[in-house]
Amino acid sequence: AALVSLGVWQLQRKVWKEGLIAEVEARARAAPIPLESIPTAWRRADGAGQADFARVVALGHFNHGKELHLLSPQREGAAWMIVTPFETPEGPVLVMRGIVPEALKDPAKRAAGQVGGDITIEGRIRLSEPKGLFTPASDVVKNNWFSRDLGPMQEATGLTETGRRLPFFIELERPVPPGGWPRPQLDAVNLRNDHLQYAITWFALAAVTAAMFGFWAASQMRKTPEA
């Protein structure tokens, strides 16, 4: 009974996850929302999870002098995601501008893309990613980051005014900077949904347990009572 109940619970979780995936995919396809019009909850750390993949449009300017380099390996070799503070009337936000190959990690080698002045950008809200078990610690001094960790990245770029800094990243869609670097790159909407497999596992265990008990009970019934 316990194993069957666990299987049913996983089926309920499957329905919940499918709804969540549909919601996230809808946000990723929707028209961008002006940054000043996003829900109040999205501006709080405890509510930003509702905004993942939502598309936004924002006016502001980049602070290129404080860009961060986040390791982002590509099929063609080592590459780095350029993460740059973007000052907006709504507060500063870190923008994942796109990737550059190792040869262009130095911003002086892609000066054309270091756009100055106010510009309008479109992108998707993204959250921190948990650090993997084998992910090395980021080297803040050398500006080599190995995990997308919002808090430390905000601290490293001086975004310390808690009341104004926005609790998420923006993953840039457009515009592509002059010279093509950094090259915008969007993450796929790929939320894991393994609940059906888990449910099948629990139901299979329940069936095996019931079968084993049946064999045991039958063997007990066939035993000849001692005189």
pLDDT for 224 = 56
Cα 56–chain centre separation: 16
Burial class of residue 71 in the structure, from the number of CB atoms within 10 Å of its CB (0-12 exposed, 13-18 middle, 19+ buried): middle
Confidence of residue 219 (pLDDT cuts 50, 70, 90): confident
pLDDT for 225 = 59
Confidence of residue 182 (pLDDT cuts 50, 70, 90): very high
User: What is this structure's pTM?
Assistant: 0.82
CA distances from 148 to 50, 59, 120, 138, 190 (A): 18, 24, 24, 10, 17
C-alpha–C-alpha distance, residues 80 and 109, integer Å: 14
pLDDT for 81 = 97
What is the tens place of the pLDDT at every residue in 72-128? 988 888 899 999 999 999 999 999 999 999 999 999 999 999 999 999 999 999 999
Q: In this structure, are strands 55-62 and 33-34 parallel, antiparallel, or unpaired?
A: parallel
What is the tens place of the pLDDT at every residue in 117-152? 999 999 999 999 878 888 999 999 999 999 999 999
